[in-house]
Structure 1
Amino acid sequence: TVLVVVDQPASIGALPLTVARDAGCQVAYLPGLAMRRIADLYPGEAKTDAKDAAVIADAARTMPHTLRTLDLADEVTAELTMLVGFDQDLAGEANRTSNRIRGLLTQFHPSLERVLGPRLDHPAVTWLLERYGSPQALRKAGRRRLVEVVRPRAPRMAERLVDDIFTALDEQTVVVPGTGTLDVIVPSLAKSLAGVHEQRRALEARIEALLEAHPLSQVLTSMPGIGVRTAAVLLATVGDASSFPTAAHLASYAGLAPATRQSGTSIHGEHAPRGGNRQLKRAMFLSAFAALHDPASRTYYDRCRARGKTHTQALLRLARHRISVLFAMLRDGTFYQPRSPRTA
C-alpha cells in the first residue's frame, strides 16, 4: 500500500491528496510543529523543498506516530473549511482597520476615541465617520444633523450617541497639529471597515445555510456558547471527531491538555501547551467565555477561581472540560444535557 504524506493539506497539498485518494493510496499529513521539531534533528540550517520532502519521508518511515490521518471531507465540510478561513481573514482585517481608526482618534482626540472606539462595530458609527471623520467636521455638522444621520441606522441610540460625542468634543479645547488629515483618512478607513463588516454578515448567512445541511450542526449549537461561526470552525477542524480515539486526544490536538513543567527540584505546575490547532483552540476558548451565562459552566468557572486560578486559567480549564463534553456529543450524536460539572 502506498502512503502519501503532505505538510500543508489545506493549501498546496490539497490537489496531491485528491489525486492520491483517487488512485487508492492512503493519505496523511505531518503537522507543522512536529515537522519543525523533526527537522531540528538534521544537520545544517538550510530550508529547502528537497530537505522538507526528506524530513516528511523519514517521519513517515521511522516516526509514524507523528502523522495525522486525513478523512475525506464531504462537500459541505470542504466549503465550510474555505468559508471559515475567509471569515477569519476578514475578522483580522476588521480588527486591523478598527485599531487604525482608534489609534488616529487617540492621537488627535482621546475623548472622542473613548466614545466612538468601542462602538466601531455598529453600522451607525462607521456610517457617521464616513461622512464626518474629524472633530471639526462633527462639530460643524451640529447636533441636529448628526442625529438625522444616525437615527435611520440606530433609532434607540441616536440622541445618546450624539450627546456623548459633543460631551467629548467639549472636553478638549486645543487642536493637535495634523488633525485636519482625519477628514481624508478616517472616512476612507470607516468605509473599508463597513465593507468588511458587510462581507462578514453575508458570509455568516452562507455559513449558516451550509450548517443547516450538516447532520451535526444542531448537536453542536445545542451547547451553550457555540454559535454559527464556532460550530463551523469545529466541523471544519474536527468533523465528527471520529479520528480521535478519546477526548484526551482531541484536547491535545486543540492544545488544551495541561502539560506539567518541572526540572529537577523546580516544579512550575500545569500549563496549557503552546502547540495545538490554533483555530480550534481559539474557538473553544471564546466559546467558553461566551458560555459563562450558562449556570453549569459558571459554576465550574467560579470553582476554578475559588481555587486561586486566574481568569484565563479558569477559562482554559472550562474549555478543556467542554472538549470532553463535546467529544461525547459528537461520538453519540446527542444534544447537550446541562449538569453541574466537578472541578478538574
Structure 2
Amino acid sequence: MITEHETIDVFIGVDVGKSNHHAVALNRAGKKLLDKALPQDEAKLKTLIRSLAKHGKLLFVVDQPATIGALPVAVAQAQGIAVAYLPGLAMRRAADLHPGEAKTDARDAYIIATAARTLPQTLRPIAIPEEQVAELSMLCGFDDDLAKQATATSNRIRGLLTQIHPALERVIGAHLEHAAMAELLVKYPTPAALRRAGEVRIGALMRKHAPRAWNRWAKDITAALAAQTVVVSGTEAAGIVLPELARMLIHTRAARAAVLVRIEELVVAHPLHLLLDSMPGVGIRTQARILTEVVGKDFASPGHLASYAGLAPVTWRSGTSIRGDHASRKGNKILKRALFLSAFASLKCKDPSSRIYYDRKRSEGKKHNQALIALARRRCNVLFAMLRDGVLYQVPEATAA
C-alpha cells in the first residue's frame, strides 16, 4: 500500500506492452487529464511525466513492474515520482467493477488509474533495487532456466535410452547427473558403439570423470549390454540424437556452474550473507532468492512474510458443512519453492530441531509435503526474527539441552 496516497494529486495508470504502452491520468476528483498511447521510449515517457507534473504530485502505476515494464518504472523513478504496481489478481477483480467485457489497452490503463485513485490498498510499492540485488535477480532467473533445460534434456536422454535399450537406461539413467555418463554418450551413443568399445575402453573414458566409480559402472554397462541382443527400430536415429543431447547437457551444466560462481560472489559480498548462512539448510541459491524476494520489502509480522511466500494455511469456514484448512496456491512461488527446498535440506543438518518438528507433524498424520510446508512456515518465523533483529541463527534451547 502507498502510505502517501492522500498527498497524491494525479494518478497515472499505464498498461505496459512490448513495443507500446497506453497511459491514462486521473486527478483526485476522477477527471481524465490524459488518455493516449506512447511508445516504449525513454524520451516520450519523460515528456509524459513532465507534462503532468504541473498538476501536482504524481503516482505512476503499472500492471507489470519487470520485463516489459522495467523501462517505464526506471524512468519514473529517475524523475523522482512515486511508483507502484497493481498485481494481476487485483487488476482482474477491479476490471469486474467496470461495465463491459472489452479488453483494450485504453480500458486497462483506465482501470489501473481508477484503482490507484480509489483502491490504494491494492497497490504494491516498487522500491529502487540495489544494483547487487538486481544483478542477483537476473542471474537467479537465468539459473532457473538452465536448471529446467538440464532437467528436460536429461529426461529426453532417458526416454530415448528406454526406447532402444531399457537395460542400458537403468544403468546410465540412474547416474546421468554425473558428468561421466554424458561424456560416455557423446563418444559411444548406441549399444553397438558401446559393444565395439568394450569394457576396457569404457572404463578408461569414465575413469577421467569418475575416479571412484568408473570400474563398477563399466562392469554394469557391459552387463546391461549383454541383457539385450535385438536391435530396436529407431536405434540408428537415436545414435544421431543422443550425442547432441549429451553435449547440450554438458554445456548447460557448465553454464549453470559458471552462473553459480557469480551468484556466490554477489551473495558473499552482501551484508546479510553471514546472517542467512547461519540458518541450517540455507545454501547459496536459497540465500540469493531470499535477497531478491524478501530484502527491501516491509513485512509487519512473520505471518505476513509467510502469507507473501504462500506458506500460510488458508482456512475454510462456511456454516457447519465446510470446515478445514488447506495449503495456499497463491503467494510468491519463487520464494515458496526456495523455502520449501530449504526446509527439506534442513532435515539433514546437525541442528536436530527441524527433524524433531517434522517428525512431530508426521506423527500427527500429515503427509510428507504437508509436514515440510508446516516446517517451512515455522522457519519463516525464525527468518523474520533474524532479519528484524539482525541476529544470527541460534539453536533452540530445548533442542540444545
TM-score under structure 2 length normalisation: 0.81
Matches within 5 A, 1:230-249: 230-241=286-297, 243-249=298-304
Could you tell me how far apart the structure 1 residues matched to 2:147 and 2:230 are? 35
The equivalent residue for 2:125 is: 69
Which of 8, 18, 41 matches 2:74? 18
Superposition deviation, residue 42 in structure 1: 4.2
Query: In the alignment, does 2:400 pair up with 1:310?
Result: no
Could you tell me how far apart the structure 1 residues matched to 2:98 and 2:196 are? 67
Query: 4+ runs of 1 displaced by more than 6 Å?
Result: none
Cα contact 1:240–1:331 (8 A) shared by 2: no
Superposition deviation, residue 41 in structure 1: 4.3
Query: In the alignment, does 2:395 pair up with 1:338?
Result: yes
Deviations 1:8-41 (A, max 9, x none): 2121222222221222211112222332343344
Cα contact 1:219–1:329 (8 A) shared by 2: yes
Query: In the alignment, does 2:161 pair up with 1:94?
Result: no
Give the AA of the match of 1:282: R
The equivalent residue for 1:323 is: 380
Superposition deviation, residue 190 in structure 1: 0.6
The equivalent residue for 1:273 is: 328
Cα contact 2:281–2:346 (8 A) shared by 1: yes
The equivalent residue for 1:228 is: 284
Give the AA of the match of 2:393: Y
Could you tell me how far apart the structure 1 residues matched to 2:103 and 2:193 are? 54
Richer in strand (by share): 2
Which of 138, 148, 152 matches 1:82? 138
Secondary structure at 2:67 match in 1: coil
Secondary structure at 2:68 match in 1: coil
Cα distance change on mapping 1:193 and 1:43 into 2, 3 Å: farther
Cα distance change on mapping 1:137 and 1:68 into 2, 3 Å: same
Give the AA of the match of 1:224: P
Cα distance change on mapping 1:143 and 1:251 into 2, 3 Å: same
* Bigger relative CO (Cα 8 Å, ≥ 6 apart): 1
Could you tell me how far apart the structure 2 residues matched to 1:169 and 1:260 are? 56
Cα contact 1:248–1:257 (8 A) shared by 2: yes
Superposition deviation, residue 341 in structure 1: 8.4
Superposition deviation, residue 83 in structure 1: 0.5
Give the AA of the match of 1:250: L
Cα contact 1:301–1:314 (8 A) shared by 2: yes
The equivalent residue for 1:283 is: 338
Secondary structure at 1:12 match in 2: helix
Cα contact 2:311–2:336 (8 A) shared by 1: yes
Superposition deviation, residue 50 in structure 1: 2.5
The equivalent residue for 1:138 is: 194
Superposition deviation, residue 219 in structure 1: 1.1
Could you tell me how far apart the structure 2 residues matched to 1:29 and 1:259 are? 25
Could you tell me how far apart the structure 2 residues matched to 1:202 and 1:341 are? 42
The equivalent residue for 1:175 is: 231
Could you tell me how far apart the structure 2 residues matched to 1:78 and 1:199 are? 20
Secondary structure at 2:83 match in 1: strand
Cα distance change on mapping 1:134 and 1:257 into 2, 3 Å: same
Superposition deviation, residue 167 in structure 1: 2.4
Cα contact 1:285–1:319 (8 A) shared by 2: yes
Cα distance change on mapping 1:111 and 1:55 into 2, 3 Å: farther
Cα contact 2:186–2:244 (8 A) shared by 1: yes
Unaligned runs of 5+ in 2: 1-56
Could you tell me how far apart the structure 2 residues matched to 1:340 and 1:135 are? 58
The equivalent residue for 1:36 is: 92
Could you tell me how far apart the structure 2 residues matched to 1:54 and 1:258 are? 35
Q: Which moved more, 1:37-46 or 1:196-205?
A: 37-46
Could you tell me how far apart the structure 2 residues matched to 1:28 and 1:43 are? 25
Matches within 5 A, 1:180-195: 180-195=236-251
Could you tell me how far apart the structure 2 residues matched to 1:254 and 1:341 are? 28
Give the AA of the match of 1:325: V
Which of 179, 192, 196 matches 2:252? 196
Superposition deviation, residue 169 in structure 1: 2.1
Q: Which moved more, 1:149-158 or 1:165-174?
A: 165-174
TM-score under structure 1 length normalisation: 0.94
The equivalent residue for 1:116 is: 172
Could you tell me how far apart the structure 2 residues matched to 1:322 and 1:297 are? 9
Cα distance change on mapping 1:335 and 1:196 into 2, 3 Å: same
Cα contact 1:216–1:240 (8 A) shared by 2: no
Secondary structure at 2:322 match in 1: strand
Superposition deviation, residue 54 in structure 1: 2.5
Unaligned runs of 5+ in 1: none
Computed over aligned residues only, the root mean square deviation of the Cα atoms, in angstroms, reads 1.8
Secondary structure at 2:136 match in 1: helix
Secondary structure at 2:138 match in 1: helix
Query: In the alignment, does 2:215 pair up with 1:155?
Result: no
Could you tell me how far apart the structure 2 residues matched to 1:4 and 1:298 are? 47
Deviations 1:82-105 (A, max 9, x none): 101111111111111111111111
Could you tell me how far apart the structure 1 residues matched to 2:256 and 2:93 are? 37
Q: Which moved more, 1:75-84 or 1:2-11?
A: 2-11
Cα contact 1:296–1:340 (8 A) shared by 2: no
